[in-house]
Amino acid sequence: MKLTNIGTVRSLMEKHGIKFQKKFGQNFLIREEIPIRIADECGAGKDDYVLEIGPGIGTLTRELCQVAGKVVAVEIDSGLIPVLEETLADFDNVEVVNSDVMKLDIKSFFEEKFGDKNVYVCANLPYYITTPIIMLLLESRLPIKKMTFMVQKEVADRLSSNSREGDYGAVTAAVSYYGRVEKLFNVSAGNFMPAPKVDSAVIQITLYDKPPVSTSDEKLFFKVIRAAFEQRRKTLVNALSGKVDISKEDILNAVTSIGLDPNIRGEKLDIADFARLSDEIKRIQSER
């Protein structure tokens, strides 16, 4: 069964009486090499488990089943479940779960489905919730080795950017705390059905065993990052003012006492600077 064939996609959908659901970000892959390459490069071997988010009609899922020990695929659209039963019938190492991934109790889901196995996450992500899904998986501290995602090219460039200008944003900074991001390859819009308006790219996040910087209060660290980028045209001191629980004067003291220019903008800081700054803010808070 060649699921990247346009005729096959059409006849499967017709047979099961379903239509592409725009609200679920359904753009199915129709170029055979792409799911094969994603499965090859996702890092999972026969001893490993894979979580796939949004299997669609099972195009990438089938390739993942060939490389991994077991694949658990979470699909929100109940209309696709009978299609997946048909397209995945020749694999006995796959389980399809009909659920919104954002509504799962993700920690217990991992314990139940994967136990103590190494987990690799793979997805051609629905574009409307790319960042929330990535942040949910990172912040939940799950036993994930690598995550390989198809995302909008613009998002891929932002997340894999080393520069602290332009595309660099709060999400880039937050993601770089959890793992190393690499762009694997670009995928043009014509490789999907229906074709989206923008091009895509595949990125891979290799999770660190331990964050590259240490901070005494992770929650405050992320709060400072978010606030710094929320109003990125302001200086860092102005952007943080009213957002962290100390006076503007104390924010200025914190910024200068870690050796930063008082007029610096948030986008100039790397995560080591953010860790030092949030620790200093924490110290000032605790003195009061």
- The residues of the shown chain that bind ligand SAM, judged by CB under 6 A, are 24-29, 53-56, 59-60, 74-77, 100-102, 124, 126, 129
Instruction: Considering the complex, state which of residue 125 and residue 254 has its C-beta at the smaller distance from ligand SAM.
Output: 125
Alpha helices in 88-240 (DSSP H): 106-114, 130-139, 153-159, 170-178, 218-230, 236-240
Instruction: Considering the complex, state which of residue 130 and residue 172 has its C-beta at the smaller distance from ligand SAM.
Output: 130
Instruction: Considering the complex, state which of residue 51 and residue 246 has its C-beta at the smaller distance from ligand SAM.
Output: 51
Phi, psi of 117 (to 5 degrees): -75, 155
Alpha helices in 199-257 (DSSP H): 218-230, 236-240, 248-257
159 exposed, middle or buried (CB, 10 Å; 0-12, 13-18, 19+)?
buried
CB of 65 to ligand SAM, least distance (A): 13
Instruction: Considering the complex, state which of residue 72 and residue 170 has its C-beta at the smaller distance from ligand SAM.
Output: 72
CB of 128 to ligand SAM, least distance (A): 7
CB of 101 to ligand SAM, least distance (A): 4
Instruction: Considering the complex, state which of residue 6 and residue 272 has its C-beta at the smaller distance from ligand SAM.
Output: 6
CB of 172 to ligand SAM, least distance (A): 22
122-125-129 Cα angle (round to 5): 130
CA-based nearest residue to 207, from 139, 105, 273, 110: 139
Task: Name the closest residue to ligand SAM (Cβ).
Answer: 54
- Name residue 252's beta-bridge partners: none
CB of 238 to ligand SAM, least distance (A): 36
